[in-house]
Amino acid sequence: MPTIWTAAAPVLLLVASNVFMTFAWYGQLKVEHRALWLIVLISWGIAFFEYCLAVPANRLGRAVYSPAELKAMQEVITLVVFAIFSIAWLKAPLTLNHVLGFVLIAAGAFVVFRGPFSQILA
């Protein structure tokens, strides 16, 4: 029986890794005056820390979650982090279409975790 920490640690690590990932991928959109090669190097440097958190998250998470559950969880976390980042850092509006699309992706993650066929196929 997993402890609360065993179940929560992968989630917390994935949230932290996604903050780094989002800055690595999208943070540069506000820095248009720098050379692309420099932005790529900086992004790779930021992404290093993302990997330092994501790999242990998945390694630890494997004790509690299936690989499909870890991936579904990571996708939902990515969307939540990105939505917050987009509004706060990029000052981009979050439209109803965005929210609806994110909800549909979250519904897919729900199916992975507690889908209608999980008991039938288990």
> Of 21, 6, 13, which is closest to residue 79 (Cα–Cα)?
21
Q: Per-residue pLDDT tens for 98-113?
A: 999 999 998 888 888 8
| pLDDT recorded at residue 120 | 52
* Residues in CB range of 88: below 8 A, 6 or more apart: none
Q: Per-residue pLDDT tens for 112-122?
A: 887 655 555 45
| pLDDT recorded at residue 43 | 95
| pLDDT recorded at residue 81 | 96
Q: Per-residue pLDDT tens for 42-79?
A: 999 999 999 999 999 999 999 999 999 999 999 999 99
CA distance 64 to 5: 11
